[in-house]
Amino acid sequence: MANDIAAQDAGLAPLVEIASGKLRGASSDGICSFKGIPYGASTAGRNRFMPPELPQPWAGVRDVLAYAGRAWQLPNRPKRRPVLETLLGPADTTPEGEDCLTLNVWTPGLGDGSKRPVMVWLHGGAFAYGSGNRAVTDGANLARRGDVVVVSVNHRLNIFGFLHLAEIGGSAWAHSGNAGLLDLVAALG
């Protein structure tokens, strides 16, 4: 843990270890950021419409320096207004897809023994559009000013997260209508 602090102070990339493996983030102005951390396996193929599964562990160190993909969005999402663009920043341009169970973390300290509150941002969008990868959800300033850990989350949207299939597919699909909410529960776990 002391090495984490020394690395952070020296401006080196912060390293942490989670259940799935080791992560290398970035450090800037006293804030460590880790972007695109998988908290669940891809929801494609046999995992489509199913409760989230744990991500596959990885060997070595995984770089988590940039936002990862986001859930498929409604094709007719609301048009951006210049005022909203000014307030919320640019739209998320990360790829859309089914490998979207990722989260982003900002913290003012690693391994310093401090216990900090954790603030979790669950994006809006009526379960049809939105992303935890937008400029408005960047937690660096809040982490710095509030001495808190900030987390933003991506999860399944639209029919991929909320289509009830049990009546036509049977009990194997009992949780399909709540898959997107189960993603959020997994992210909080």
Altogether, the residues listed in the chain come to a count of 189
Could you give the percent of the chain with pLDDT greater than 70? 86
14 band by pLDDT with thresholds 50, 70 and 90? very high
CA 176 – CA 161 distance, rounded (Å): 7
Per-residue pLDDT, 120: 97
Q: Please answer whether residues 34 and 64 qualify as being in contact, where contact means their C-beta atoms are separated by less than 8 angstroms.
A: yes
- What separation in angstroms does the CA of 55 have from each of 4, 165, 186? 25, 24, 11
For 97-155, write each residue's pLDDT tens digit: 999 999 999 999 898 889 999 999 999 888 988 899 988 889 999 999 999 999 999 99
In the predicted model, what is the mean pLDDT of the chain? 88
Contacts of 103 (CB under 8 A, 6+ apart): 37, 39, 132, 151, 152, 153, 154, 187
CA 82 – CA 147 distance, rounded (Å): 32
Among the residue ranges 13-17, 43-47, 88-92, 129-133, the one predicted with the least confidence is 88-92
* Unique residue bearing structure tokens 């209508």: 177
Average pLDDT for 170-183 = 96
Report pTM.
0.86
Q: Which residues of 42-57 are buried (b: 16+ CB within 10 A; e: fewer)?
A: bbeeebebbbbeebee
Q: Report phi then psi at 114, rounded to 5.
A: -75, 140
29 band by pLDDT with thresholds 50, 70 and 90? very high
Q: Report phi then psi at 115, rounded to 5.
A: -100, 120
Return the HEC string of 9-65: HCCCCCEEEECCEEEECEEECCEEEEEEEECCCCCCHHHCCCCCCCCCCCCCEEECE
The answer to whether residue 8 scores a pLDDT higher than 50 is no
Per-residue pLDDT, 111: 83
CA 65 – CA 124 distance, rounded (Å): 24
Domain segments of the chain as ranges: 33-56+67-188
